[in-house]
Amino acid sequence: MSQIPVPGKERAVSGARSVVLTCLAITILDGVDLIMFGAVLPTLLEVEQWGITTASAGLIGSLSLFGMMAGAMLAGYITDRIGRRPVVLACIVSFSLFTGLCAIAPNLESFGLFRLLAGLGFGGALPTLIALTQEYVKVDRRQFYNGVIQTGFPIGGCVVAIAAIFMIPAFGWESMFAVGGLLGVVLFVIAYRNLPESIAFLASKGRHDEARELAQRYSIDAGAESGMALEKSKSESTGSPSGFRLLFAPGYRIATIMFPLITFFGLLVSYGMNTWIPQMLRSSGYDLGSALTFLLAFNIGSGFGMVVITGLADRLGSRPVISVSFVFGALAVSALTLQPAQALVFGLVLVIGFCASSTTGVYGFVGVFYPAAARGTALGLAVGLGRLGGVCGPILTGMIMSSALGADWAFYAFAFAGVAAAVLVSLVPRKNMAASESDVSVEKTTEPA
């Protein structure tokens, strides 16, 4: 296999590690923002900040997620024209500024607006980070590293859950958002120094000298997609077939519709529970400290699930692993309606968090299902349109919690969503041409028939 000249294999590992760790740091802060409102929500409701109610809290909880949906949909369009690095840096500036402003919001309307604008930045960063990571690591490890960088969400959630236990009583809920904004400033400096541009983007724009220089700096060889793109650009003219048209070509059009539906149901559970699980369990008789401990358990389970599920999907295939995980999650959620002992609840929430991370496996499934020419567009649609589930989850939960139905029916709703996701995963067409492209070596992630 031909290689781009590099100083050595050790530097190649170091270059890929730098990209992965930087992307992981960004997703950690994304997770901090995602969980932060859920962590402060019981306090906001208890003190009736700005006259907030459970129904309005559900709406506020969904505003940042709606921003993330819009940001994800726009990211692919913008990065195709100006590159991925400037988009990610702009997103960090956006979510840092508006997360910090939440600490000094004068009213509920301003607070909701700041959450919406911060969400635009987070949403725009995620699909770009996934694509950038998969370019810089070895082809046969793309699913696994996709899972690794997305462990940033539960890691960030754990940080928030722990910090909230001590910071809210001592400094008030505002301190959470103030610290989040300051962390964003630090992250911008780190990303500015360490995050590279997409080599494939540079090669596609005819900027071959820049692409080669970047490949040498990060020690990228032809075992990674970036190396493949650079090698291919030596013998072919710039330009590529339309990824959007390929999404609706025979063999792909049904999956193109189904993948956003799967992520819709998966994110409805994940985001709904992340926002409401402290209040839901508190309404079942647990104190605030215990409820925040359950939030911590949910995110610990999610972190393990992200790497285990993606690793198993590499070996056993995405369909059986992801669908079984969704089913087990639905069973665990249903068991919470029995109001078991606190120790058992902790274990059930761990399982639910583990299974809720199945959406990470779905993103990997999208990556290996489509050929490279359509992979970014397909991932953008799955992430962006699937965010509607993240928007609907907190709103639906808030409506149920504010009605006479109560927490049990919210758990039933989550269980239904998990079963629906499992059924849809099992129905994704088995035709997978992603690993049969002539310009990419056969992947170990190819699905079994």
* 54, pLDDT greater than 60: yes
Burial class (CB in 10 A: 0-12, 13-18, 19+), 176: buried
Is pLDDT of 301 > 80? Answer: yes
Instruction: Lowest mean pLDDT of 114-128, 208-222, 396-410, 432-446, name the range.
Output: 432-446
Strands (E), 120-204: none
In a domain, 445, yes or no: no
pTM, rounded to two decimals = 0.77
Residue, of 105 and 235, whose pLDDT is higher: 105
Single-letter amino acid, residue 437:
E
| Amino acid 375: pLDDT | 72
3-state SS track over 180-228: HHHHHHHHHHHHHHHCCCCHHHHHHCCCHHHHHHHHHHCCCCCCEHHHH
432 in any annotated domain: yes
Instruction: Give me the DSSP letters along 312-335.
Output: HHHHH-HHHHHHHHHHHHHHHHHH
**402 is a domain residue:** yes
Q: Which two tokens stand for residue 162?
A: 């722990």
3 assigned to some structural domain: no
Q: What is the pLDDT of residues 38-49, one digit of tens each?
A: 788 888 888 888
Place of tokens 């992307």: 23
Rounded Cα–Cα distance for residues 270 and 243 (Å): 29
At residue 251, φ and ψ (nearest 5 deg) are 95, -15
We report the CATH number of the domain holding residue 130 as 1.20.1250.20
Q: Which residue has the higher pLDDT, 396 or 77?
A: 396
Rounded to 5°, the CA angle 238-364-446 comes to: 80
Beta-bridge partner residues of 22: none
**371 assigned to some structural domain:** yes
Query: In this predicted structure, what is the pLDDT of residue 242?
Result: 53
Residue 68's nearest CA partner among 32, 102, 19, 117 is: 117
Question: Residue 447 falls within a domain, yes or no?
Answer: no
pLDDT class for 5, splitting at 50, 70, 90?
A: very low
Higher pLDDT, 177 or 377: 177
The encoded tokens of residue 202 equal 């540079």
Q: Classify residue 419: in a domain, yes or no.
A: yes
Q: How far is CA 8 from CA 5, 11, 178, 279, in A?
A: 9, 6, 43, 53
- Between CA 329 and CA 265 the distance in angstroms is 12
DSSP state of 442: P
User: What is the residue whose two structure tokens read 């932060």?
Assistant: 36
Residue 324 in this model has a pLDDT that exceeds 90? yes
- 86-90, 94-98, 164-168, 240-244: least confidently modelled range: 240-244
Residue 208 lies in a domain: yes
pLDDT of residue 424: 94
Q: What angle do CA 87, 90, 92 make, to 5 degrees?
A: 110
Nearest to 198 by CA among 179, 224, 172: 224
329 token code pair: 């999650």
| Residue 252 exposure: Cα atoms within 13 Å on the Cβ side | 20
3-state helix, strand, coil in the chain (%, to 5): 80, 0, 20
pLDDT of amino acid 229 = 63
> How many structural domains does the chain have?
1
Contact 115, 67 (CB under 8 A): yes
Which residues on neighbouring strands pair with residue 224, listed in sequence order? 138
The answer to whether the CB of 306 falls within 8 A of the CB of 154 is: yes
What would the two tokens of residue 63 be? 């505003």
In 3-132, the DSSP E strands lie at none
Q: Which residues span the domain enclosing 62?
A: 9-436
d(CA 77, CA 213): 26
- Span 403-424, average pLDDT: 86
Chain centroid to Cα 101, Å, comes to: 23
- Rounded to the nearest integer, the mean pLDDT of the chain is 79
How would residue 9 be classed by pLDDT, with cut points 50, 70 and 90? very low
* Residue 329 · residue 309 · CB < 8 Å: no
Cα separation, 189 vs 58, in Å, equals: 34
